[in-house]
Amino acid sequence: AQGFELRDVYYRYDREQETYALQAVNLRIPSHRMTAVVGRSGAGKSTLIDVLIGLVQPERGQVLVDGKPLGAGEACELRRSVSYVSQDPFLFHESVRDNLAIAAPDASEAQMWEALRFAAADAFVKRLPEGLDTVLGDRGIRLSGGERQRIVLARAILRDPSVLVLDEATSALDGEREAGIQEALERLRGRMTLIVIAHRLSTIRGADQIIVLDNGAVVQQGGYAQLSEER
């Protein structure tokens, strides 16, 4: 099966402690689909991502990627093909071009433009009628939180990753802008595996699968309709 699989995974940060950050976790994350991971703060969402991409090794259990156990060598290669967008978009105090070129030094301006449009940055593009070079090259540009978030998303897309992790990445956006990002994710789903960490239900409406974590354990797993029925 293409994608990730966790089999009976346990992880704790401190072996002296009784509490596990992840316990008895069994799940599948199919490739080229959108999987949402939901749960309150401390539920284990970030730890789950770290285990998936081999940043940390489970104490017990197995991580499989495309059916094969995730060893140290594979994890290194996997992490190169993962783009991660956090809830605090990090941009340097330089131009949009500089911020995009960090991820993809060889990208042409046309590719940068395309990635910006893809990241639902149309409004941003329209706001700046001066044209391509000014928008990409202006170092004094003032960006709103929403714009920054979309530039970070564009940067992640430019790397053409096989896995894109969005960690509460749309939390700074208002409803309309968030809808724009959702559209972008719909289009991206055919190209890469999407893992969306979310608190808000609106963010995950389009997800193929929702995994609900609580206290390090998977308490629910299924489609949107399935989960609403169970509740």
Q: Which stretches of the chain bind ligand ADP, using CB under 6 A?
A: 13, 21, 39, 41-47, 91, 93, 142-146, 148, 172
3-state secondary structure of 23: strand
Helices (H), the chain: 45-52, 72-80, 96-101, 109-118, 122-127, 132-137, 145-158, 175-188, 224-230
> Closer CB to ligand ADP, residue 39 or residue 180?
39
Distance in Å, CB of 143 to ligand ADP, minimum: 4
**What's phi and psi for 101, nearest 5 deg?**
-65, -20
**CB closer to ligand ADP, 81 vs 86:** 86
Least Å from the CB of residue 39 to ligand ADP = 5
Structure tokens at 88: 């605090």
Q: Which CB sits closer to ligand ADP, 156 or 173?
A: 173
For residue 81, the minimal CB distance to ligand ADP (Å) is 22
Q: How far is the CB of 216 from ligand ADP (least distance, A)?
A: 6
Type of residue found at 138: D
What's the min distance (Å) between Cβ of 199 and ligand ADP? 10
CB nearer to ligand ADP: pick between 25 and 185: 25
Residues 6+ apart with CB under 8 A from 161: 81, 82, 83, 192
Alpha helices in 18-71 (DSSP H): 45-52
Residue 171 or 189 with smaller CB distance to ligand ADP:
171
Residue of 33, 34, 63 lying closest to 48 (CA atoms): 63
Taking each helix axis as running N to C, give the angle between helix 145-158 and helix 109-118, from 0 to 180 degrees, rounded to the nearest 10.
120
Longest alpha-carbon distance in the chain: 60
CB atoms within 10 A of CB 145: 12
- What is the Cα Rg of the chain in Å? 18
Shortest Å distance, C-beta 148 to ligand ADP: 6
Residue with the shortest CB distance to ligand ADP: 145
Shortest Cβ distance from residue 193 to ligand ADP (Å)? 19
- Given the complex with ligand ADP, which of 118 and 124 has the nearer CB atom? 124
If the CB atoms of residues 16 and 106 are measured against ligand ADP, the closer one turns out to be 16
